[in-house]
Amino acid sequence: MSAAHIRNAENGDLPAIQALYAHHVAHSLGTFEEVAPSLAEMTRRWRAVTDAGLPYLVCEDDGAVLGYCYAVPYRPRRAYRFSVEDSVYVSPDHARRGYGRMLLSTLIDRCALLGYRQMVAVIGDSGNASSIGLHKALGFAEMGSFQSIGFKQNRWVDIMLMQRALGDGDTTPPAERDTVVVA
């Protein structure tokens, strides 16, 4: 592996992030979006995550963004305030080289340090062996699936639900926190 490293995403990374995500929107079932968001929309989303104090990370090597990930609140209701959902995307030119693992393991660590107790993965396409394998390798357990919940690329698509405890998980009461809302 090269000198790739993980760092906080910056405004200047957003064109590369938008292009990478646009590829996944157009060519994969990992996201159920069917039209790639504009750069302005991706910038708005990045700001919403970072303004909420949640991690939004890139894997970078010599100035090139190889992948990115972020965490958002799992659901908006207050009782979910200790749970986050992850999203991880790696450039197809750099897949299966460990960058997704670097990103997700850093995201797990950062969310645990922030006091979150559970991380959920909602994986588009129950046949997405790469994403399911990545999450399993980092301690996520399969919790179930929704069959034929989305329709994309002219076919019905399942989602796989996975979950991983962060920090003490549910073994101790958490320190109180405000509800984080990401619009």
- Given a cut of 50, whether residue 1 has pLDDT beyond it is no
pLDDT, residue 182, reads 76
pLDDT digits (tens, 9 = 90+) for 41-82: 999 999 999 999 999 999 999 999 999 999 999 999 999 999
pLDDT, residue 92, reads 87
pLDDT mean across residues, the chain: 94
- Given a cut of 90, whether residue 96 has pLDDT beyond it is no
CA distance 71 to 74: 9
pLDDT, residue 178, reads 66
Average pLDDT over residues 170-178: 85
Q: Which two tokens stand for residue 104?
A: 């997700």
Q: 108: pLDDT confidence band, cut at 50, 70 and 90?
A: very high
Q: What is the CATH number of domain 5-165?
A: 3.40.630.30
- Sheet containing 64-73: give its strands across: 5-8, 56-61, 64-73, 83-90, 118-124, 155-165, 141-152
CA distance 131 to 152: 18
> What are the backbone angles phi and psi of residue 5, rounded to the nearest 5°?
-145, 160
CA distance 61 to 182: 29
Cβ atoms of 130 and 95 within 8 Å: the answer is: yes
> 176 or 27: whose pLDDT is higher?
27
- How is the chain split into domains, by residue range? 5-165
Q: Is 104 helix (H, G, I), strand (E, B) or coil?
A: helix
Q: Which of 84, 13, 3, 80 is nearest to 42 (CA)?
A: 13
- Given a cut of 70, whether residue 179 has pLDDT beyond it is no
Alpha helix stretches (DSSP H) within 5-159: 14-27, 39-51, 99-113, 129-137
Q: Which two tokens stand for residue 137?
A: 């390798």
